[in-house]
Amino acid sequence: MENIHQIVSKRQTFEKIEHWITENEKTEIPVKVLIGNKIDLYASNKGGVSKSEAIGMARKYGMEYFEVCSIGDTSIAPVFDYLFSTIIGQIPNPPTPLSLMGKGILIGKRLLNSSKYQLALCDIASLYE
């Protein structure tokens, strides 16, 4: 993933996104986002990637699009807010073994050691016997 930090200013990197998305479909990634970095270079970079192109790519693959820049007030905080709230929203309350399967969610020791959770695991195991 060379030069991924220049995704907005370098077209060749932007054009690799579809390949990376295809590669990542083999893994269980609960939330994907597209981040345009160095947005301060839009005006000075001829042949770069436009905001509308980036948004179009994000929509094509069902991702949210964010822009960040180390200069000014365009911070990364909204990206993390979105990621955390989306991931937390995918965790059922209360979590059951069956509802967590296939979501790429790691279970903590407290839940794993819970007697309720252990009983629920036994119930699921009986479905496969």
Q: Do 11 and 35 have their domain in common?
A: yes
Q: Do 68 and 30 have their domain in common?
A: yes
Total structural domains within the chain: 2
Task: Report the chain's mean pLDDT, rounded to a whole number.
Answer: 75
Determine the Cα–Cα distance for residues 51 and 37; give it in Å rounded to an integer.
11
Q: Do 70 and 118 have their domain in common?
A: no
Q: Do 10 and 63 have their domain in common?
A: yes
Q: Do 42 and 104 have their domain in common?
A: no
Among candidate residues 119, 116, 120, the one with its CA nearest the CA of residue 98: 120
Q: Do 74 and 99 have their domain in common?
A: no
Q: Write out the E strands in the chain.
A: 33-36, 64-67
Q: The dihedral of CA 28, 22, 4, 68: what is its sign?
A: negative
- Per-residue pLDDT band at 88 (split at 50, 70, 90): confident
What is the per-residue pLDDT for 96?
72
Q: Do 129 and 79 have their domain in common?
A: no
Q: Do 1 and 58 have their domain in common?
A: yes
Task: Write out the residue range of the structural domain in which residue 37 sits.
Answer: 1-90
Q: Do 97 and 86 have their domain in common?
A: no
Percent of the chain with pLDDT over 90: 9
Among candidate residues 125, 94, 90, 87, the one with its CA nearest the CA of residue 111: 94
CATH number at 32 reads: 3.40.50.300
Question: Does residue 5 surpass a pLDDT of 50?
Answer: no
Q: Do 7 and 56 have their domain in common?
A: yes
Tens of pLDDT, residues 17-58: 888 888 887 777 778 899 887 766 655 556 678 888 889 999
